[in-house]
């Protein structure tokens, strides 16, 4: 079995990343896995340990940092979040592709360590549209929304770090594009070592 | 209007290249053009000048060589075949993507001149399958078919020169893959100079 591919996906809140990733996972359940992060924050209502996150104590998290078990980690609002090397490597070595949903700072850390990862950035067609989507969610204050828009503007500046940019104007079109990237990336000749393993050259 | 992209496609005879290219041209008639070659050979029955080839005299062809009007040219069985720089550049500058259907020798000449072209190689899943397809066409002698198989084996060795490899086991799947490559290549961040031209960053 050949090793899987790592797909690193970033997007500002409201760009539609979660919907797009879930659609891709639903289309390829037998070959694609979602990378579950470790965190020290408390589970929210409905969140399941080992599905949404691995919820661990700060002591355990710091132990993992000391043991260099993280591919990347960060502190956000006082909580730790990290991606386990071992979890990703296990999936890849088992032949699964992995989706890693992460912000540009995390993506940058991955980029230096996984030379063959595929980096995808997803954006809304405009900041105004992003604002409308966040407002329509009705889950956050305008203050929080404005902070998210400010972050989005910062994050978009890093788009060149990514291999691909998807503009999520219509979810179905954006999904076709994500799917196209996913399929095309599996057709690259650079990942083929021995052509005779995939094309029977016997006459 | 942004400049189009050049897609260079090679395949041994019988791999299904023509069907696949025609399907792609049919799907994107408004943005994709087929590069028509110049040749000195006689038109076959049904071939139309300016559609299948530009049929020109050997004297004219040699003039074009002298004037460096070809991106690449070759002599096959005593006939000249060539790709006009001007025709390709006009399509690209008009914003059309271009499909250039060419053998690996020609592709190699293009590779040195068009750094941003996309190179795609199409193969049958096996040489035996290729042989069956050529036999089923009932248009060529076994001698001719064996020569084609020998050429196919030679050409396949050059697959690493291409960016992508499509194995045409089933035409519909192979077409989805060609389409995926075509779409994905338009999402690459390396072709985006100014993000503000495609994402409205006004708050």
String of DSSP letters for A86-131: HHHHHHHHTT-EEEEE--HHHHHHHHTT-TT-EEEEEE-SBHHHHH
Q: What pLDDT does A203 receive? A: 82
Tens digits of residue pLDDT in A13-36? 888 999 999 999 999 999 999 999
Say what the pLDDT of residue A1 is.
65
Domain membership flag for residue A31: yes
In a domain, A179, yes or no: yes
For the annotated binding site of A for ATP, the residues are: 11-18
State how far the Cα of B190 lies from the Cα of B85, in Å rounded to an integer: 24
B11 is in an annotated binding site: yes
Complex prediction ipTM = 0.91
The answer as to whether A195 is a domain residue is no
Cβ contact, residue pair A177, B184, below 8 Å: yes
A147-182 per-position pLDDT tens digit: 889 999 999 989 999 999 999 999 999 999 999 999
Q: Which residue in B has a C-alpha nearest to residue A131's C-alpha? A: B203
In a domain, B160, yes or no: yes
A101: β partners: A9
Which CATH number characterizes residue A104's domain? 3.40.50.300
**From CA A145, how far away is CA A135, in angstroms rounded?**
7
Contact yes or no for B184/B129 (Cβ under 8 A): no
Q: Average pLDDT of A180-191?
A: 97
- Asked whether the beta carbons of residue B126 and residue A177 sit closer than 8 angstroms, the reply is no
User: What are the φ and ψ backbone dihedral angles of A91, each rounded to 5 degrees?
Assistant: -60, -50
Whether residue A35 lies inside any domain: the answer is: yes
Q: How many domains does chain A fold into?
A: 1
d(CA B118, nearest CA chain A) in Å = 11
Residue B63 domain boundaries:
6-190
């Amino acid at each position: 079995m050949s090793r899987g591919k790592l797909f690193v996906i970033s997007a500002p809140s409201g760009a539609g990343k979660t919907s797009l990733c879930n659609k891709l996972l639903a289309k390829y359940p037998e070959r694609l896995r979602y990378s579950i992060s470790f965190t020290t924050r408390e589970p929210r209502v409905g969140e399941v340990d080992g599905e949404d996150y691995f919820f661990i104590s700060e002591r355990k998290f710091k132990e993992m940092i000391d043991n260099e078990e993280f591919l990347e980690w960060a502190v956000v609002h006082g909580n730790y979040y990290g991606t386990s090397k071992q979890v990703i490597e296990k999936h890849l070595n088992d032949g699964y592709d992995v989706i890693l949903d992460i912000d540009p700072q995390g993506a940058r850390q991955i980029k230096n360590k996984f030379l063959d990862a595929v980096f995808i950035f997803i954006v809304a067609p405009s900041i105004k549209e992003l604002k409308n989507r966040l407002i329509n969610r009705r889950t956050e204050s305008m203050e929080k929304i404005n902070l998210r828009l400010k972050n989005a503007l910062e994050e978009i500046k890093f788009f060149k770090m990514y291999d691909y940019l998807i503009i999520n104007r219509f979810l179905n079109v954006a999904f076709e594009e994500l799917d196209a990237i996913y399929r095309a990336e599996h057709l690259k000749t650079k990942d083929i070592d021995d052509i005779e393993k995939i094309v029977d050259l016997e006459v």
